[in-house]
Chains A and B, each alone.
Chain A
Amino acid sequence: MADADDDISPWRSLPAKVAPVALALAALGVAGFAIAPLTDGASRATHPRNFDAAKAPPAELGAEGFMISLGGLRTLAADAAWLRANVMWEKTDRAACTAYARLAAVLSPENASFREGYANWMAFDFPHWSIARLGGYATVPQKVQDGLFRAEGLEALKYLEVEMAREPEQYRYPMLASRIVLIRLKDAERAAMFNRRAAETPAGPWSPALNYANHLANTGRLREAVDWLGHYAGTRPENSMSRAVAEEWLEPARKELKKRTE
Chain B
Amino acid sequence: MKASLSRTFLVAFNTAGEAARQRYFLVLLALAAAVAGLASGLREMTFGEDLKFIADLGFGALFFFGSLLAVVLPVHLFFSELDNRTALTLLARPLRRGEFLAGKLLGVWTLLAALVAIVSAVTLGMVAARHADLVVAAQARHMPAPVFDYAGAALFVALQTVRLGVVAALTLFTCSYARTALFAYGAGLGWLVAGQTAWLAREWFGRTPGWGGKLVVAVTRVVPDLQAFNLGDALMFPVRAAPHAEAWKALGGGLVWIAVLIAVGARLFRNREI
B208-267 CB contacts (< 8 Å) to partner A = 218-225, 227-234, 237, 239-240, 243, 245-247, 249-250, 252-254, 256-257, 260-261, 264-265, 267
Tell whether, in the assembled complex, residue A39 and residue B177 are in contact, meaning their CB atoms are under 8 Å apart: no
Interface presence of B142 (CB below 8 A): yes
Report whether B48 and A42 are in contact in the complex, using a CB–CB cutoff of 8 Å. no
CB–CB A42/B243 < 8 A = yes
Give the interface segment out of A6-14, A46-54, A135-143, A153-161.
Answer: A46-54
Q: Which of A21, A62, A79, A117 has the most CB of B within 10 A?
A: A79
Q: For chain A, residues 65 to 94, give those with C-beta under 8 angstroms from any C-beta of chain B.
A: 65-66, 68-69, 71-73, 75-76, 79, 82-83
Assess the A49–B239 pair: CB atoms within 8 A: yes
CB atoms of B221 and A27 under 8 A apart: no
Which stretch from B16-24, B52-60, B86-94, B98-106 is at the chain A interface?
B52-60
Could you say which residues of chain A place their CB within 8 Å of the CB of B256? Answer: 31, 35, 38
Residues of B within 8 A of A32 (CB): 220-224
B225 touches A76 (CB 8 A): no
Bound complex: CA of A203 vs CA of B239, how far in Å? 12
Per-residue CB contact flags for chain B residues 192-207 toward chain A (1 = under 8 Å, else 0) read: 0000110110011011
Contacts of A71 in B (CB 8 A): 59-60, 63, 230, 232
- Please measure, in the bound complex, the distance between the C-alpha atom of A71 and the C-alpha atom of B57, giving whole angstroms: 11
Contact A240 B142 (CB under 8 A): yes
Min distance, Cβ A105 to any Cβ of chain B, angstroms? 11
Chain A, interface size category, equals: 35 or more
**A114 at the A/B interface (Cβ < 8 Å)?**
yes
**A20 located at the interface, meaning its Cβ lies under 8 Å from any Cβ of chain B in the complex:** yes
Known contacts A29-B218, A42-B228, A42-B231: A113-B47 contact under CB 8 Å: yes
Known: A20-B268, A38-B253, A46-B227. A72 touches B48 (CB 8 A): no
Known contacts being A31-B260, A32-B223, A42-B246, is A65 close to B200, with CB within 8 Å?
yes
What's the Cα separation between A33 and B222 when bound, in Å?
Answer: 8
Q: Report the minimum CB–CB distance from A60 to chain B (whole Å).
A: 11
B218→A24 contact, CB < 8 A: no
B170 to chain A: closest residue by CB: A28
**CB within 8 Å for A29 and B221 given contacts A21-B268, A76-B57:** yes
B46 at the interface (CB under 8 A from A): yes
Check B221–A113 contact: CB distance below 8 A. no
Contact (A73, B231) CB under 8 Å given A21-B268, A32-B223, A42-B247: no
Q: Can you list 21 pairs linking A and B with CB atoms under 8 Å apart?
A: A28-B264, A29-B219, A29-B222, A32-B220, A35-B257, A36-B221, A38-B256, A39-B249, A41-B250, A42-B228, A42-B249, A46-B230, A46-B234, A54-B207, A71-B230, A73-B63, A75-B49, A76-B60, A110-B237, A110-B239, A111-B49
Beyond A41-B249, A42-B249, A43-B228: 6 further Cβ-contacts under 8 Å? A40-B225, A42-B253, A62-B204, A82-B47, A110-B233, A113-B49
